[in-house]
Structure 1
Amino acid sequence: MASSEPRPGRLEGKIALITGAGAGIGRASALLFAKEGAQVIATDMNPDLLADMKDLPGILRTEKLNVTNKEDIVNLAKTIDKIDVIFNCAGIVPGGSILEADDATWNLALDINARGAYWVCQALIPIVLKNKGTCSIVNMSSVASSLKGVENRFIYCVSKAALLAVTKSIAADFVGQGIRANNICPGTVDTPSWRGRVNSSPDPQKALADFIGRQKMGRVGTADEIAYLALYLASDEASYVTGQDFIIDGGWSM
């Protein structure tokens, strides 16, 4: 006879910080993590996107956080006594080849997509070590990185390749101290950011058809599908997994 006792969530008792939690994959992950028992610190540089989340069960608190501002990150870390999961999900997707690239966009993309994760981890890892605890770091990279060259994504690919290296270096340095670090590497995912890029193109219908046409499954991914991979990596089910790049792209990179 099945037990009537409620089953604990997969992140029960864990405190998780998520950057870029206001929309897309970050938001889907924040809601899923909370549903699975975590106490979530949901952060985003646009606090308006977090307004409807702050009173939801499992959302410990919402915070405005600009990951390009090291002082903001350090100050947030000072308010955290315990951390079990760090999900660096904030990111931007600039387009263009190397011929369209400019230094301002290069700097911004590297700051948000790579340096922000570096600063967040640098600020929070000492809390884990002080508590002699464990922690799963999940970083949102992309197949568009050193894993796959993608047309008109020069700066984006470089920034996400840098994040792959950030993750693997952290994994190597702290593998014996209870800290795991892994990359999620999606292909094209239906998010507000992606929809914005499609709709801002000269021919949105053609842009949408082109995106779908290159997908071997005939569709793009969903934010929830990526969130479930993040949940696995954040959970103790992945306790023997570190330093890895998890491709979730519908077979695009095959």
Structure 2
Amino acid sequence: MGRLDGKVIVLTAAAQGIGRAAALAFAREGAKVIATDINESKLQELEKYPGIQTRVLDVTKKKQIDQFANDIERLDVLFNVAGKFGEISDRILITSKVQQVRQPWMLVWTWGLKADEVTRGSRFVHHGTILDCEEKDWDFSMNLNVRSMYLMIKAFLPKPSSECPQPGLVPSRHPSPLRWKISAVTGCRLHQPLQSAWQLSRQMLAQKSGNIINMSSVASSIKGVVNRCVYSTTKAAVIGLTKSVAADFIQQGIRCNCVCPGTVDTPSLQERIQARPNPEEALSDFLKRQKTGRFATTEEIALLCVYLASDEVSSVLPSLPM
């Protein structure tokens, strides 16, 4: 019997790194996992594992998130991974030794790529001080690292009863004929296409078992890191968001915690190291920052996430495991 038997878990940025390791760990513990990412090819590799379904999702797009939430009939755990440090796309390397490409929405450094190959789904880590940060860099970092979590949480978090549309009918957003049904959970008269979304919200509130896990970093309000001004600011905001959601919804049985790892050994980290002029020196520099003398593994972080997703820590709120 697994520690997560029967739980339905949605997570973002699941194509590689911590997200992928967490999806596999959740499934091994008996959860029904819905893994999302913008990288469709890598995401599909998870389909071969029992207990895992996949969904292509751009977490910067509110309409996509809302539609996704409408399609989910039940949710026990939401794990927001997108925007984690170091989880850049396997096609994008942030380095000062390669070709510069400008997009209207961000500035990245690419390794021999055409401009149209740079995808909006890349995890973005801005390098530099506040003086190196342009407004577009700030806006993009906030959008991916913070706003994405805000959108995901708001889409799946229980809505208070005051938002239940009483009296009257829910306005139709669909061209189909009106079909009304009384929700057994809320007592509200719901237009049929909207029913699942409202039931999801009220079911989570009624069962008092919602669980949200956010991915932050030690490079945040916990610790200042050189040349990580914008990134650290966004991750400090994630900690603040986590504490606020935890405080606001604990009485309704909603838990909200976040994980704050240091440098984790992921494929993208190794790519960044190899892209440096002197990979051995770069590796040494990275390791010098680690008090343990080694990188954390994605499996170690995934095990911590399993613990937070389980009922073993139902009274832990809010926590910031590092």
TM-score scaled by structure 1? 0.91
Task: Give the CA deviation at 1:129.
Answer: 3.7
**Percent of aligned pairs with the same residue?**
49
Q: In structure 2, how many angstroms separate the alpha carbons of the residues matched to 1:68 and 1:129?
A: 25
Aligned-partner residue type, residue 101 of structure 1:
C
Task: Give the CA deviation at 1:104.
Answer: 2.0
SS of equivalent residue, structure 2 residue 130? coil
**Is 2:38 aligned against 1:45?**
yes
CA displacement 1:48-84 (0-9 Å, x = unmatched): 111111132011x201111111111001000001100
Aligned-partner residue type, residue 166 of structure 1:
L
SS of equivalent residue, structure 2 residue 280? helix
Aligned-partner residue type, residue 12 of structure 2:
T
Q: Is the 8 A contact 1:187 1:221 kept in 2?
A: yes
Match 1:24 to one of 7, 17, 31: 17
CA displacement 1:153-206 (0-9 Å, x = unmatched): 111100101111111111011101111000100001001222232223333221
Number of the residue aligned with 1:73? 65
Task: Give the CA deviation at 1:10.
Answer: 0.6
Number of the residue aligned with 2:303? 228
Q: In structure 2, how many angstroms separate the alpha carbons of the residues matched to 1:118 and 1:40?
A: 21
Q: In structure 2, how many angstroms separate the alpha carbons of the residues matched to 1:129 and 1:245?
A: 28
Q: In structure 2, how many angstroms separate the alpha carbons of the residues matched to 1:171 and 1:210?
A: 37
Match 1:108 to one of 140, 149, 169: 140
Task: Give the CA deviation at 1:99.
Answer: 2.0
SS of equivalent residue, structure 1 residue 86? strand
Q: In structure 2, how many angstroms separate the alpha carbons of the residues matched to 1:85 and 1:177?
A: 15
Task: Give the CA deviation at 1:140.
Answer: 0.3
Task: Give the CA deviation at 1:101.
Answer: 1.3
**Is 2:29 aligned against 1:36?**
yes
Q: Is the 8 A contact 1:84 1:128 kept in 2?
A: no
Match 2:54 to one of 62, 87, 111: 62
**Is 2:78 aligned against 1:86?**
yes
Q: Is the 8 A contact 1:129 1:177 kept in 2?
A: no
Q: In structure 2, how many angstroms separate the alpha carbons of the residues matched to 1:226 and 1:244?
A: 15
Unaligned 5+ residue runs, structure 2? 84-122, 159-199
SS of equivalent residue, structure 1 residue 99? helix
Aligned-partner residue type, residue 228 of structure 1:
L
Number of the residue aligned with 2:130? 98
Instruction: Report the CA distance shift for 1:97/1:203 in structure 2 as closer, same or farther (over 3 A).
Output: farther
Number of the residue aligned with 2:154? 122
CA displacement 1:134-166 (0-9 Å, x = unmatched): 121110000000110001111110010111111
Q: Is the 8 A contact 1:171 1:179 kept in 2?
A: yes
Written as runs of structure 1 = structure 2, the 5 A alignment for 1:115-154 is 115-126=147-158, 127-131=200-204, 132-133=206-207, 134-154=209-229
SS of equivalent residue, structure 1 residue 207? helix
SS of equivalent residue, structure 1 residue 119? helix
**Is 2:158 aligned against 1:158?**
no
Match 1:174 to one of 249, 253, 264: 249
SS of equivalent residue, structure 1 residue 139? strand
Q: Is the 8 A contact 1:141 1:183 kept in 2?
A: yes
Task: Give the CA deviation at 1:128.
Answer: 4.6
Task: Give the CA deviation at 1:23.
Answer: 0.5
CA displacement 1:12-60 (0-9 Å, x = unmatched): 000000100000000000000000000000000111111111132011x
Q: Is the 8 A contact 1:128 1:135 kept in 2?
A: no
Aligned-partner residue type, residue 89 of structure 1:
V
Number of the residue aligned with 1:5? none
Q: Is the 8 A contact 1:54 1:62 kept in 2?
A: yes
